[in-house]
Amino acid sequence: MTKLSKIQAMAVIQFHEEGFSTRRIAETFEVSQRQIQKIIKGEAWAGAREAYITHMSRIKQEQETAPITLYRGDNSPFELVDFVDENSNVTKRGVFINAEAIHEGLLAEFTPSQLKSLLTILAHSNHTNTAYPSQQRIAKLTGMNVSTVNKNVQAFDGMQVACKYSGEVLSEDAVERLKRPAKNNPYEMTIYRMAKALVKHIEADFLIDNTVGRGM
């Protein structure tokens, strides 16, 4: 049975707080729902919730004191949309690429395999633009081998996205790795943070015949 690390346990708490089901969380981390339930109830990794609260408090403080980014447009090339019900539970999630950004040359910034890796990372990210998938999981979901995923992830380090969009040039690190896996261990979780100029997280009310979005 796979044992989750403390950081992964914190991620479980975060996904649970954001309204994801135990089944969805278990699939993401490739463990049983019972393990996920134990973490949520505090029966395993009892300090995970407190660590998560401390972590989120630090991120909020960093966001409040961070300098204004060079990107001031209303839209980002990529958009991660969470559709929620009347109880604010996430019912559906989508990753979208802005058509205008494509016309301005966004896709030329990435190789096909890099784009597949990036979209998979985006699909795992939360409202802080942080994601936790292992390279093994990215490889499994994209049909690529781990070595290719590893090369793509390494290419993201320091990658500048120079897409003329909304009258400005985006020139920030596309994806930052906050934590790297141990050498020769692609199964270990990596922590990624996507630049706000690259992806915007949006929460939307999911209606039968209409969708009204509200930026976060």
141 in Cβ contact with 131 (< 8 Å): no
Residue with tokens 């969805």: 24
97 beta partners: 78
pLDDT confidence bin for 115, thresholds 50/70/90: very high
Q: What is the pLDDT of residues 59-114, one digit of tens each?
A: 667 655 544 333 334 567 888 888 877 777 777 888 888 887 787 778 888 899 99
Residue spans of the domains in the chain: they are: 6-65, 78-215
Tokens representing residue 126 in the block: 């939360």
Q: What is the pLDDT of residues 184-215, one digit of tens each?
A: 655 556 788 887 777 877 777 654 334 444 44
Please name the residue ranges forming H helices in the chain. Answer: 6-17, 22-29, 33-41, 48-65, 99-103, 112-123, 135-142, 146-156
9 in Cβ contact with 48 (< 8 Å): yes
- Is residue 170's pLDDT more than 90? no
User: What are residue 35's phi and psi, to 5 degrees?
Assistant: -65, -40
CATH 1.10.10, domain 78-215, yes or no: yes
Whole-model pTM: value is: 0.61
